[in-house]
């Protein structure tokens, strides 16, 4: 089974990749369309040159790889994807053959975390609009996408991940609750900029506290993102 996990940035997505990567029966891949997205949009991201040099830039080749044999012939293949990477020209037909899961997080938390790493984010940077678009597209194909909130994972990792596994038809494994400190061999080259906190972790962080204060200049972004998040919460497990 191929599991495509769709989120925007700063959504607990790396910790989730580490969680599935801790299973002995699961291969993982980290944001395979990142270089293709940068090449097509020309957008300036931290470590842009390194990402373009390290990854395949042809999205059709990436899609063929994702549709192919699982690395190491493992039964499960967890594919960590960013919704904002799926711009025009990035193929989507391959998504029909995978189990599509959508990982969501409150926009206030995403914006506060993202803005600390990259200044002046806009709506298309944080993936909420694209997440709903992809969710609706999967449903239009007759699929039944699964939605899980990172807040629930951090509040009760074992119960939420067991529920997620049941929903997608994967046997639950307690190995998913911890991983070695220092990152994963599948980390993208960009990990040095974005993954500092999760590199220090050995499991999911404690439950989240109150929502962070979003600066006044980012309040319009929060207002724009909230309807998309609220739409996704209606289908949360």
Number of structural domains in the chain: 1
193-214 pLDDT per residue, tens? 889 989 999 999 999 999 999 9
Q: Which of 54-68, 86-100, 110-124 has the lowest mean pLDDT?
A: 110-124
Cα 82 to Cα 105: distance, rounded to the nearest angstrom: 13
Please give the pLDDT value at position 128.
97
Would the pLDDT of 66 be above 80? yes
What is the domain extent for residue 187?
A: 2-233
Would the pLDDT of 114 be above 90? no
Please give the pLDDT value at position 119.
75
Cα distances (angstroms) measured from residue 143 to each of 85, 146, 217 = 21, 10, 38
Whether the pTM exceeds 0.85: the reply is: yes
Please give the pLDDT value at position 122.
92
Phi then psi for residue 5, to 5 deg, are -100, 120
Binning pLDDT at 50, 70 and 90, where does residue 124 land? Answer: very high
Please give the pLDDT value at position 25.
98
Query: Which residue do the tokens 């990749």 mark?
Result: 17
We report the CATH number of the domain holding residue 204 as 3.40.50.300
Beta-strand (E) ranges in the chain? 2-7, 26-30, 76-82, 99-104, 146-149
């Amino acid at each position: 089974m191929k599991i495509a996990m769709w989120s925007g940035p700063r959504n607990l997505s790396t910790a989730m990749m580490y969680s599935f990567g801790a299973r002995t029966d699961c291969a993982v891949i980290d944001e395979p369309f990142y270089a293709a997205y940068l090449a097509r949009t020309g957008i300036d991201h931290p470590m842009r040159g390194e990402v373009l040099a390290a990854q395949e830039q042809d999205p059709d080749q990436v899609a063929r790889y994702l549709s192919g044999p699982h690395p190491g012939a493992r039964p499960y293949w967890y594919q960590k994807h960013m919704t904002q990477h799926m711009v025009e020209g990035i193929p989507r037909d391959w998504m029909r053959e995978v189990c599509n899961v959508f990982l969501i997080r409150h926009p206030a938390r995403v914006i506060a975390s993202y803005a600390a790493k990259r200044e002046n984010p806009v709506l298309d940077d944080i993936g909420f609009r694209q997440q709903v678009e992809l969710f609706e597209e999967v449903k239009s194909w007759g699929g039944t996408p699964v939605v899980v909130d990172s807040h629930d994972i951090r509040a009760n990792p074992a119960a939420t991940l067991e529920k997620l596994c049941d929903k997608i038809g994967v046997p639950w494994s307690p190995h998913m609750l911890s991983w070695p400190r220092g990152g994963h061999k599948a980390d993208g080259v960009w990990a040095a900029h974005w993954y500092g906190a999760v590199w220090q972790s050995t499991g999911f962080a404690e439950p989240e506290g109150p929502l962070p204060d979003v600066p006044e200049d980012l309040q319009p972004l929060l207002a724009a993102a909230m309807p998309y998040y609220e739409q996704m919460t209606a289908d949360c497990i």
